[in-house]
Amino acid sequence: MSDSKRDTIAVRTGIATDTQHQAVVPPLYLSTNYTFPEFGSVPKYDYARGGNPTRTHLETALAEMEGGAGAVVTSCGMSAINLLVSLLDSDDLIIAPHDCYGGTYRLFDSRAKKGAFSVEFIDQSDADALSTALARKPKLILIETPSNPLLRVVDIADICEKAHKVGAWVAVDNTFLSPVLQQPLALGADFVIHSTTKYINGHSDSVGGAVIARDAELAENLAWWGNCIGATGNAFDSYMTLRGLRTLGARMRQHEQSAAQVLEYLLTESAVRKIFHPSLKEHPGHEIALKQQAGFGGMLSFELDADLEGLKTFLGALKLFSLAESLGGVESLVTHPGSMTHRAMSDEAQAEAGLAPTLLRLSVGLEDPQDLVADLQHAFRTLEEATS
């Protein structure tokens, strides 16, 4: 599917479908319940946990953009992942990346401790670790590529091929790139997961998630579980997310261009110890990213060459990068994963995942990229003055 086709789906889904008043933008249906036409006749929508016309538009758009058979929109990204693992039994094994999003780590670890399933966290780019894990016949491989926060890239098609040989499903968390820059189902994955809170909504004003399934039967099964456990998203958030989705293509292209400019500048700064971005030739996942991604996205991470006091000075000097969690909004953000997004991981787990104490993650927004570079320059000069 071409980029423009995805843009068209995002913009047009639900447009001019209102038969009551011919509204161009589909109306927001807040009603929790729907009238039965007559005794014994169940309407398409009866109760909003199970289905809602506003949510359906968003589900249709996401399923089509990812090339799936169906989608379930959930109350947040974590409930999307929780919904997916509702398909598992207690003797099933999940293989997840050792550097996955901290909340995913916490969910799998906590549920596994309660006996819901087993989990093993591995470095999925390590071929030996992957084949040892696959020999244990897992039910589900969760991939997060590029990973959060180190932007490690793994080969989706290769993992899918190996996973399918042992009968495992593959789910890809596509939050960092969105369907505009990566299409995991076309590479063989069975499920795509999103925290729509991020790029898909794109305006940092609604929390949501989605699971998209390649196969219609799995999509139906997910919809059943979504209603059963009450994981589904509400109408208002679906409305907001669909509104954000309409500009996803244009936003992603600009996020990417601006991130490239910020990266170019960071490469010139001596107080940057290490920089993580798949566009860099020396990035271990560069070749795979070129093969499987339609772009490098708007996220990057770097290690600041400073102690924790210096880190504090640097962060305090930034004006256009707000110190906040989350990512993918129009506004630029800086995050310290160790004390923010990944604080649910123990120090040992953080170290094992390669998260250095001065690692910073940038979500490059849609401000003028020259202003963003000037803001970073100012923070680096402030750090320099404070430490000289």
CA atoms within 13 A on the CB side of 154: 29
Nearer to ligand PLP, 124 or 175 (CB): 175
The span from the CA of 285 to the CA of 158, in Å, is 13
State the minimum distance, in angstroms, from the CB of residue 261 to ligand PLP: 23
Phi, psi (rounded to 5 degrees) for 127: -60, -35
The span from the CA of 170 to the CA of 175, in Å, is 15
Using an 8 Å Cβ cutoff, are 174 and 60 in contact?
no
Strands 93-97 and 118-122: parallel
Catalytic option among 198, 214, 246, 361: 198
Residue 158 annotated to the active site? no
Catalytic option among 173, 190, 237, 375: 173
State the minimum distance, in angstroms, from the CB of residue 89 to ligand PLP: 23
Contacts of 66 (CB under 8 A, 6+ apart): 174, 179, 183, 184, 185, 192, 212
Nearer to ligand PLP, 13 or 201 (CB): 201
Nearer to ligand PLP, 144 or 256 (CB): 144
State the minimum distance, in angstroms, from the CB of residue 64 to ligand PLP: 21
State the minimum distance, in angstroms, from the CB of residue 20 to ligand PLP: 33
Catalytic option among 45, 49, 111, 243: 49
Nearer to ligand PLP, 145 or 258 (CB): 145
H or E element that contains 72? strand 70-74
Read off the DSSP letter of residue 112: H
State the minimum distance, in angstroms, from the CB of residue 123 to ligand PLP: 17
Residue 215 annotated to the active site? no
DSSP β-bridge partners for residue 211: 72, 193
Nearer to ligand PLP, 26 or 233 (CB): 233
State the minimum distance, in angstroms, from the CB of residue 36 to ligand PLP: 34
For residue 333, give the amino acid letter. L
Which residues are at the interface with ligand PLP (CB under 6 A)?
76-78, 101, 103-104, 144, 148, 173, 175, 195, 197, 207, 209, 326
Phi, psi (rounded to 5 degrees) for 359: -70, 130
Residue 109 annotated to the active site? no
Nearer to ligand PLP, 77 or 249 (CB): 77
- Residue 357 is encoded by which pair of tokens? 């104490």
State the residue number with the nearest CB to ligand PLP: 77
Using an 8 Å Cβ cutoff, are 177 and 148 in contact?
no
DSSP β-bridge partners for residue 272: 304
Residue 49 annotated to the active site? yes
Residue in this structure with the two tokens 């596994």, named with its chain if needed: 112
- Residue 113 is encoded by which pair of tokens? 């401790």
Residues marked as catalytic:
49, 101, 173, 198
